[in-house]
Amino acid sequence: MSSIHFTSLTQRFAIWFFLVALLPILLIGYSLLQTFETEIHKAAIQQVSAIADKKVEQINSYLYERLHDANLIQATETTHQAIDQFTNVFNQHGIDAEVYRKLDATYREHFERFVEGAGYYDVFLISTEGWVVFSYAHEHDFATNLLTGPYRDTGLGQVFRQALDTGKSSISNFEYYNPSKGAIAAFVGVPIFIEGEMHGVFALQIYSERVFEVLTNNVGLGKSGETIVTRLENDRMALVMAPLKDEPDAALKRTISLDDPILSVTIKKSLDGQTGGGTAIDYRGNEVVAAWRYLPRMSWGMVVQIDVEEAFASVFRVRTTGLVILGLTFILVILGALLFNRRVVTPLKKLNQGAQAIALGDLRQRVPIEGWDETGKLADAFNTMTERLNTSYRELEARVAERTAELEYANAELAIKEEETRSVVEHMVDCVVTTDERGVMLSVNPVVEKLFGYTSEEAIGQNVAILVPEPDRSQHEFYMERYCKTGHGQEYIGRPYLPGSHGIGLGREVEGVRKNGELIPIYLAVSEYFVGEKRHFTGVMRDIREHVKIMKDLENARLEAEQANQAKSAFLAAMSHEIRTPMNGVIGMIEVLQQSSLTSYQMEMTSLIRESAFALLEIIEDILDFSKIEAGRIEIELTPIPLATVVEKACSMLEHMATSKEVELTLFTDPAIPEEVFGDALRLRQVLVNLINNAIKFSSGQQQPGRVSVQVTMTESSPDRVSVAFQVTDNGIGMSEEALKRLFMPFTQGDASTTRRFGGTGLGLTITHHLVELMGGEITVQSAPGKGSTFTVHLSFKPSPAKPVSSENVIDLTGLSCLVLGGDEGLSNDLVAYLKYAGANVERAADLIAARERIKALPATQWLLVIDAGHEEPPVDELRLAFRTRSSLNSHDHPHFVIVKRGRRHRGRIEEDGMVTLDGNILYRQSFLQAVAVAAGKAKLEEEIPFLEEAKRITPPSREEALRQGKLILVAEDNEINQKVIRQQLALLGYAADVVADGREALRRWESGDYALILTDLHMPEMDGYQLTQSIRTAQTLLNRIPIVALTANALKGEADRCRAIGMDDYLSKPVQLEQLRVTLGKWLQVPEHKPVMPDEPIPASQPTTSVDVSILETLVGNDPAIIREFLQDFHINAKEIGKQLHAAYQANQFDKIKAAAHKLKSSARSVGAVGLGEWCAKIEQAAKDSNEKELTSLLPHFEAEMTAVDSYLDTLDKTR
């Protein structure tokens, strides 16, 4: 088939104009019409969706306002008073009583403001038992029970049970409510909480008209629009909740079937919780534009709709109008195209002729300007272009001549720069060499002769390998070739090839070889560049012989410094050993002396000597720690540690110091802290002891009583990390800004007077600061002169995996009601935290006045009062009176007490039934909770029965007796004083020992097989402790292995590990304290068979001549006269009180109380040395246990006589001590 060719411009223009212009117009017109219809459709959907959203917003806002009103009303003090008063009067008198009518009149005006002002139908007050105790309208639902009564299933009953079960507010659905004459109503219910306890429920009854008004408002929906609100009746039926347009009475009557998927599609979507819009068939079968929404608060589905016929009426009108306009446009476009074609063709032909002439090189050719403006402008532009081409051609010829002259000038400048560069390279102090890719030197600067001995002429043309020593010289060409091919090369000269590495672009120290074969150190930097496509290299080499010499000198200096540091460590170890050795004799002999018969003055002097000796040891420890910190040899161990226990032990270590300096020391450990964490208990305790020690020291001796508070709280917590803050606060002398700046510097204190007044080396805080940093934490301080100081240590720990907690260690106070009396400045906040941790319900009162008021409103149950009494007398009688005057108190209810005082008693003491006292200084959480449990009757007081050594000195066994018992000890010690000390200490503990002066003699003695344990010094002549241990361990077998315990004055870290590594079993640091020695020997040997005096055992026949043997008490608490006097005074007072209780119980014939009083006095009497009185108490306790009245009658005179003797003795002792 032959193709049609249009050679005429007119024909082609007409056809293409039709295709390009008219066809798009048709397509665009059609597209616009479709777009308009689509937009109208979207606009209709958006309109009904917006109306639906507005209705949802209005309904939700209305319901939220009702909930908000209910919450506001129930939160008022008047409502709180009303619910309690209406409940009490309703329960006691009923609604017909005069007292109820007066109460109703009192509160009716209060609730009338809400009913009349806010437009509510009714308000209700409902007790927790379900009774409607108040109703404003007094309809049939008044005074009914919403749990069991006829209206339990109404909306009112539903919101009441919801509030009672969940403690949250709610709103019911609208329904017909019979008590209100069948009106449609809904209810709002909110719980009434008073101080965390639910006292009842407040409810509002609201009208349906406001909601129906919103739903039936058809503004914006035209004539056919309406809103359908339904609630799911069952799986197949939906209940209409509001009037319909055509059925005003449809609310709660009309149902719509959900079985027809076409007629119920929008309603079903709304009830399914979907949100959307579109066209659909409604419940009447009409096609509508609808938007559906879900109201979750009411479980309603809402559909807002308008008929399609009304919504899209404008679309049909626009479609007809659009088609008419499109047809007229089509005709006009065709006429315009014909006219345009005729007026444009002729000028274009003339332009074509002119363009062809210019293409042949005739730049003087011009075309005539004619035709329409645009065509004329095109011809004018064509002529302008031709003129500019002619001008540009002439200018180009002139510019070529100018650029040629500039190029010649640039070449001359380049030659000058090249000469300058060459001069710089030749005069550099470094040797510069350029090579090609094979390593042949292309250029060198004159430094090559100075560095390598080659002249420039000798070097150029040679391979750069001549400057490299073997074995890399013979391999250099291979390295270069491999790099050029693969990009890999030799990273270090003289080192094996490393894949993927090379030395290009890197600087490094290498060895070069001079012309005479001398090896020299040089610094080499190689770079790569290209000339065209050829690869070249530049090497810059610097003579570093002087640098290498300096580095060797520095290394020698470093080695000398390390040797000096080692010498310093050795000196410190020697110093520790040399000082601890005589100190062992001093402290050991002091402890021996304290076991002898001394007067109070002599005992005080020996205590001062012992404290001074230990103070000197602390200074030595600080110096050693500081030295180890400087040397970086302190390591932090990470082992599971009980954090609270570490803190408690740190405080208990300083208890005696705080007592002697009359400083109050309090402790709080956050119960939220995990039981165990990973940390270093030793270093943490060292940090805390340093800080607490300083706090006690600097807060003592002031005008006001000294106070130190230790607070341990958890600041952050995650499954794998907990952050803990350790805060030590005192009210001491404080520090200035200048002192704070140098606080953590070694050997530094606030000023010279601080050292004179309080002593110290100034190392403690420096060591503390370094230890905290080593543990990954930080330490901060806040202080001002005269205002005290607060040190805070922030540390992060990894929690240890939780371990099963023994039920014996868990104190559960769940259900216990406690009232804590005390201000914020005392311990009350800490006590509240402990009680809540244990599960107790806690109330607070700042002082006695507030407590009296608070007690009036407390529920009638068993209460336990925790009193933070401080140094004051607790107001026990006043609080008991306040409980007795309460009208709601049952006859059997009376409060129990836990009284926290200040003193030295850390365990709870039962003062009387339901009353326990304990000390607030260094108050352990477990001790406090145990005391609370005892006072509440949830636990029994565990009486502490310490091991009592014999009142008189133990007589050690003879050597033969110890050998026969298999408990003979061998001591290897070269120092004569230490020999005497250890022998005397062992004798005091009931052990016999052989003492030798060196390890060789000890080894010979051991071979006899007579000994059960060896105590050995580490540094002795002939054979030291290490060699002795190695010899014994090598010679013995597992069956006859003997325990070996090291005695050393070396306090440096690592000594204990070294001892165990060579086979020793334990380690004691000099000076050896008697208690440490006793514990260690008890660990490896059986305790000597010396029968102690136990509190509950029968007292031997040989009783002391006095009524009270004070030496028994001294074995328990030491020889401090002040402590002995305080214990005896406490016992004196309590014994009289318990004696009175025992007599009163005897008169009332109450055997249980007699037994309890006798048991309590028996234990305390034996502990202070009143053993005779304790025996009579034991007999009375047994008689009361057997209910033997006759036996009690015969025992009481003896008891009274012994009580009189004890009382007389204590009075005399009080005057003489």
Provide the pLDDT for residue 101.
92
Strand, helix or coil for residue 755: helix
- CA 696/CA 694 separation, integer angstroms: 5
Total residue count of the chain as it appears in this document: 1217
Alpha helices in 838-944 (DSSP H): 848-856, 876-884, 925-935
- pLDDT-derived band at 501 (thresholds 50, 70, 90) equals very low
| 1070 or 522, higher pLDDT | 522
Q: pLDDT tens across 540-571, in order?
A: 888 888 888 888 888 888 888 777 766 766 66
Q: What mean pLDDT do residues 626-646 have? A: 76
pLDDT at 1009: 87
**Helix (H) or strand (E) segment spanning residue 737:** helix 737-741
How many CB atoms are closer than 10 A to CB 655?
Answer: 15
pLDDT tops 80 at residue 573: no
User: Residue 111: is its pLDDT beyond 60?
Assistant: yes
Please check the confidence at residue 747 and state whether its pLDDT lies above 50. no
pTM of the model: 0.43
Number of H helices, E strands in the chain: 36, 35
> Residue 1093 pLDDT > 60, yes or no?
no
- Quote the distance between the C-alpha of residue 454 and its chain's center: 71
User: Which pLDDT band, with edges at 50, 70 and 90, does 497 fall under?
Assistant: very low
Task: Using the predicted structure, report yes or no on whether residue 1075 has a pLDDT greater than 60.
Answer: yes
CA pair distance 552, 1152, nearest whole angstrom: 91
pLDDT of residue 1030: 92
Report which residue type is found at 461: G
Q: Which pLDDT does position 491 carry in this prediction?
A: 46
β-strand pairing of 721-730 with 706-718: antiparallel
Q: Answer whether residue 531 shows pLDDT above 90.
A: no
Report pLDDT for 158.
92
Residue 971: pLDDT band with limits 50, 70, 90? very high
**Looking at residue 1120, what is its pLDDT?**
59
**What does the pLDDT read at residue 780?**
92
Say which residue, 317 or 1014, is predicted with more confidence: 1014
373 — pLDDT class (breaks 50, 70, 90):
low
Residue 136's alpha-carbon distances to 27, 93, 174, in angstroms, are 73, 19, 20
pLDDT of residue 1122: 61
- Report the C-alpha gap between 1178 and 1181 in whole angstroms: 5
Give the C-alpha separation, 982 to 396, whole Å.
Answer: 115
Give per-residue pLDDT as tens, 867-916: 888 878 889 888 888 888 876 656 446 888 999 987 654 455 666 667 88
pLDDT for the residue 405: 79
In the chain the domains, ranked by start, together with CATH numbers, are 9-36+315-355 (no CATH), 75-207 (3.30.450.20), 218-314 (3.30.450.20), 428-543 (3.30.450.20), 638-799 (3.30.565.10), 811-935 (3.40.50.2300), 959-1084 (3.40.50.2300), 1110-1216 (1.20.120.160)
- Of the candidate ranges 15-29, 196-210, 1048-1062, the one whose mean pLDDT is the lowest: 15-29
Spatial separation of the C-alpha atoms in residues 1085 and 1083, rounded to whole Å: 6
Across 127-141, 342-356, 745-759, 787-801, least confident range: 745-759
One-letter-per-residue 3-state SS of 1073-1113: CHHHHHHHHHHHCCCCCCCCCCCCCCCCCCCCCCCCCHHHH
The pLDDT of residue 267: 84
| pLDDT score of 129 | 94
Give residue 255's pLDDT band: very low, low, confident or very high (50, 70, 90).
confident
Q: Please compute the mean of the pLDDT values over residues 390-404 and round it to a whole number.
A: 77
Mean of pLDDT over the chain: 80
- Model pLDDT, residue 893: 64
**Predicted pLDDT at 371:** 60
Rounded Cα distance between 12 and 9, Å, is 5
Task: Mean pLDDT check: name the lowest of 474-478, 740-744, 849-853.
Answer: 740-744
Tens digits of residue pLDDT in 306-354: 888 777 777 777 777 777 777 777 777 777 666 666 666 666 767 777 7
Gap between the Cα atoms of 876 and 890, Å rounded:
19
Q: Which residues have a Cβ under 8 Å from the Cβ of 245 and sit 6 or more positions away?
A: 216, 218, 226
Task: Answer yes or no: is pLDDT of 73 > 60.
Answer: yes
Query: What mean pLDDT comes out for the span 588-599?
Result: 67
Q: Rounded distance, CA 7 to CA 5, Å?
A: 6
CB 1056 within 8 A of CB 1074: no
Tell me: pLDDT of 425 over 80: no
Split at pLDDT 50, 70, 90, the class of 1050 is low
Percent of the chain beyond pLDDT 70? 79
pLDDT at 6: 54
Q: What is the pLDDT of residue 1105?
A: 46
pLDDT band at residue 1067 under the 50/70/90 scheme: confident
Kindly list the distances between the CA atom of residue 1195 and the CA atoms of 593, 1143, 1169, in Å, as whole numbers in the listed order.
Answer: 43, 12, 21
Query: Between residues 329 and 372, which one has the greater pLDDT?
Result: 329
pLDDT of amino acid 190: 95
Query: Among candidates 827, 888, 830, which has minimal Cα distance to 861?
Result: 888
High-pLDDT (> 90) share of the chain, %: 18
Whether the per-residue pLDDT at 84 is higher than 90: the answer is yes
Residue 372 pLDDT grade (very low, low, confident, very high; cuts 50, 70, 90): low
Residue 182 contacts residue 176 (beta carbons within 8 Å): yes
Please tell me the predicted confidence (pLDDT) of residue 1186.
85
Model confidence at 1165, pLDDT cuts 50, 70, 90, reads confident
CA distance 89 to 950: 69
State residue 1124's pLDDT score.
72
Q: What is the mean pLDDT of residues 737-764?
A: 58
Residues sharing a CB contact under 8 Å with residue 948, sequence separation 6 or more, in sequence order: 1092, 1093, 1094, 1095, 1112, 1115, 1116
Check residue 558 and give its pLDDT: 83
pLDDT of 1091 over the 50 cut: no
